[in-house]
Amino acid sequence: MTLVFRKKGICVVLSCLLASAVFAQKDSGEAADLPLRKISIFSSGVSYFEHRGSVAPAAALELSFNGDALNDALKSLVINDPEASAPVVTYQSETTLIRTLQSLRINLAGNPGIAEILSSLRGEEIQITTSASIVAPVSIEGRIVAVEIPPVFLRGGEGQGDPALTISTTNGVRLVKLKDIQSFTFRDAAVNADLNRALDMIRSSNNSGIKTLNIALPGRNRRDISLSYVIPSPVWKVSYRLDLNGAKPFLQGWAIIDNDGDIDWTDVEISLVTGRPVSFVQNLYPPYYVDRPVLPLAIAGAAEARTYESGYGGAEDGATYKMARNETMFAAADSAEMESPQPAAAQSMMRAVRGVVPGGVLETARGADAGDQFEFTLKKPVTLARQQSAMLPLVEGPVTAEKTLVFSGQKALAGGVVNPAISAQLTNNTGMKLPAGPITVFDGGVYAGDALLEFLPEGEKRIVSYGEDLSVSGTVTSSFKRVIAAVTVSRGVMTLSRKNVNEKTYTIRNAGSASKKLIIEHPVTRGAILTTPPSFDEQTASLYRFTRNIAAGASLDFTVSEEMPVSETITLSQLNDAAFAAFSTNAEIPDKVRNAFAKALSLKRAADDAAKALSNAEARRVRLVADEERIRNNLEAVGAESAEGQEYLQRLAAQDAAIAAQNDAIDEARASVSETEAAYEEYLGSLEL
């Protein structure tokens, strides 16, 4: 428990729980309520409760509360007392009942039976009245020895008999069946007292959902104090009514609140807070223990044995010793557990809900900033019985709202014919931030539909849709193309800049008898630039909005184009003939680039031809060498002296001459390859376009 005191309006911050608390002040046997005066209900699922009243000099407050709100109140309860300097706050912890029962001489923890209770009191003196005698009840006094369950033999096995109490009496040890005991009492008054105390504790804990907090506030004078806390509660809700009829549309908002507690709200100031504060539950109520390492006692063990050498020389030489040492390792377990007036058009619509107010004007709420949140405070105190709910006026007055149709491009892209949503562009000029909630829309004096409103700050505009216009329908068609925007060539590298063009054409027809305002919502393509039309009327994170008017019986064709730039880098030396030919004939590429590519293609083909000629020459030489080898083998087979050998010698000489000539041709082909490839590469490297 944490107590923080401040004099002159002492603030006592207490670690304890209050949930829908019931307060009673005890003073000389009289009880008085500490009235609930203020409630702030937050949209985050908690409420702030404040009680104020007068207390006696030595005040004692007893607080009853729901246990499920325990942890929230433990971190939020605040008491303001101008005198109390040493308050005492007590409450049962989660383990109080079990541990207290276990500490008594008669332990009723765990709902034990008679046999278990008597067995746990071995040695205690007891007086028993038994019905074992058929003449009259028998009284037996003695000390409990044990409770025994004797075995009995049954057909097919062994069973258990009736439990019996063994008692040591002045006349020896007696065995009494528990079922024959009519009554018993302990001779030791302390045991009987502990039994009654345990039963009282169990009775008071039967309603396990209710906890009691006791606060003692010592002082010398009667004074006024206040007590406040934050506990879980139902979130407050809001619903709106919007009348679009007439020149001045009218908005009315109602707040819905719930009293789910166990106390009545009587003349309580109610504030409704909208926002998104950080809110969490921390488990502060149950006792929390941490594990600690176990270390050996500092006094344990014996001194180490040492032997010393003889000293010599001066003090600077020092002394040495030898030590016989046993190394000891200590293992420690270390763990931690972490976790306004209305227009005539609106009067007919809202007369039923406003006629009960004198003058016909609702008493709505006052709005004000509350830090980074917004607070509505109801102008009159509220009385609401426990477990009841109420709908209270929140905001009322004329607003700026313009009727329009909204055509969803995203929905149309999914396919089929789409009807636009009947909508209203609502501007919040109420002077208040409007919380999110449903809107019931009225038009022409009748119900028109339902809409949803997200949180709307002051001065902002929001579209709300409440139906579909079946007299207006539309479709969308899509097209895609790639366009080359620019080509640059430098040092053998071509940079190709393209544009991916996405085009959507909306075709919308108005079959109605009146001209209508239409908002076309077009999905934004990430990374693309809007080109047609050149501007939009409004943009969100995911949509462009374009406003158009469509006459009665007319059709509207509306095109939206977006371009996405794409850059591609190409190394020219890696292009093949087909790629060069494609670029040199592409009309999208500038003439000078196409001409350069045509020349490059010519040079590349020359180099390719030279390489092909070299390959053919080398292949011819390979064949000549193979023939020469065959002639040599034949010559060896027939011998040089024979007529056939002489013929082979002549053919061998001719073959050598042919190989020599082919070697010259290969050298020329290699030179041509080097020359044409160098010319091709030099040309590509010199291009700057």
Is pLDDT above 70 for 355? no
pLDDT bucket at 357, cuts 50 / 70 / 90? very low
**pLDDT of 156:** 56
pLDDT tens for 47-79 read 999 999 998 888 888 777 777 787 888 788 888
> What residue has token string 């491009």?
409
Q: Which two tokens stand for residue 378?
A: 């109801």
Mean pLDDT of the chain: 78
Residue 17 pLDDT grade (very low, low, confident, very high; cuts 50, 70, 90): very low
Residue, of 109 and 380, whose pLDDT is higher: 380
Give the pLDDT of residue 594.
Answer: 81
Mean pLDDT of 17-44: 61
Average pLDDT over residues 30-50: 81
Burial, 421: exposed, middle or buried (Cβ in 10 Å; 0-12, 13-18, 19+)?
buried
Question: Tell me: the pLDDT tens digits for 137-164?
Answer: 888 888 988 888 777 655 555 556 678 8
Q: How confident is the model at residue 302 (pLDDT cuts 50, 70, 90)?
A: low
Choose among 380, 382, 421, 417: nearest CA to 403.
421
pLDDT of 495 > 60? The answer is yes
Q: What is the pLDDT of residue 337?
A: 37
Count the neighbouring beta carbons within 10 Å of the beta carbon of residue 78. Answer: 15
Q: What pLDDT sits at residue 344?
A: 40
* Residue 20 CB contacts under 8 Å (≥ 6 apart), including other chains: 65, 66, 69, 231, 260, 261, 262, 263
Q: Write out the two tokens for 402.
A: 């313009």
Measured CA to CA, the distance from residue 602 to residue 577 in angstroms comes to 9
Q: What is the pTM of this model?
A: 0.61
Q: Tell me the torsion sign for CA atoms 48, 54, 59, 60.
A: negative
Local confidence band at 304 (pLDDT 50, 70, 90 cut-offs): low
Is 350 a residue whose pLDDT tops 50? no
List pLDDT tens digits, range 416-463.
899 999 999 999 988 888 888 999 999 988 999 999 999 888 888 999
pLDDT, position 522: 94
Instruction: Please state, in angstroms and rounded to a whole number, the distance separating the CA atoms of residues 195 and 182.
Output: 18
CB atoms inside a 10 Å sphere around CB 490: 11
The band of 92, judged by pLDDT with boundaries at 50, 70 and 90, is confident
pLDDT surpasses 90 at 468: yes
SS3 call for 182: strand
Q: Is 369 exposed, middle or buried (0-12, 13-18, 19+ CB in 10 A)?
A: exposed
Count CB neighbours of 484 within 10 A: 16
What is the average per-residue pLDDT within 34-55? 89
CA dihedral (535, 536, 539, 544) in degrees, to 10, reads: -110
Q: Which residue has the higher pLDDT, 515 or 60?
A: 515
Length of the chain, in residues: 689
Burial of 249 (0-12, 13-18, 19+ CB in 10 A): buried
H-only helix segments in 205-311: none
Q: Confidence class of residue 559 from pLDDT cuts 50, 70 and 90?
A: very high
Q: What is the mean pLDDT of residues 358-386?
A: 66
DSSP codes, 202-215: HHHTSSTTEEEEEE
Q: How far is 139 from 130, CA to CA, in rounded Å?
A: 6
* pLDDT given at position 509: 95
pLDDT band at 347 (very low <50, low <70, confident <90, very high): very low
Q: Residue 677 has which token pair?
A: 């490839």
d(CA 376, CA 368): 7
473 C-beta neighbours (distance < 10 Å), count: 19
Q: What is the pLDDT of residues 602-615, one digit of tens each?
A: 888 888 888 898 99
Query: What pLDDT is stored for residue 351 in this prediction?
Result: 37
CA distance 196 to 100: 13
Q: Are 469 and 422 in contact (CB under 8 A)?
A: yes
Report residue 49 as tokens.
Answer: 């409760």
Amino acid 419: pLDDT: 94
Backbone angles phi, psi at 286, to 5 degrees: -70, 150
| pLDDT at residue 13 tops 70 | no
Query: What's the pLDDT at 551?
Result: 94
What separation, in Å, do the N-terminal and C-terminal C-alpha atoms of the chain show? Answer: 81
Higher per-residue pLDDT: 126 or 86: 126
pLDDT at residue 175 tops 50: yes
Strands 164-169 and 138-148: antiparallel
Distance (Å, whole) CA 426 – CA 463: 6
pLDDT at 311 over 70: no
Give pLDDT, residue 246. 76
pLDDT of residue 215: 81
Going by C-beta distance under 8 Å and a sequence separation of 6 or more, which residues neighbour residue 40? Answer: 47, 48, 270, 271, 272, 273, 375
pLDDT score for 305: 59
pLDDT in tens, 229-269: 898 999 999 999 999 987 789 999 999 999 988 888 999 99
pLDDT at residue 6, rounded to an integer:
34
Per-residue pLDDT at 90 exceeds 70: yes
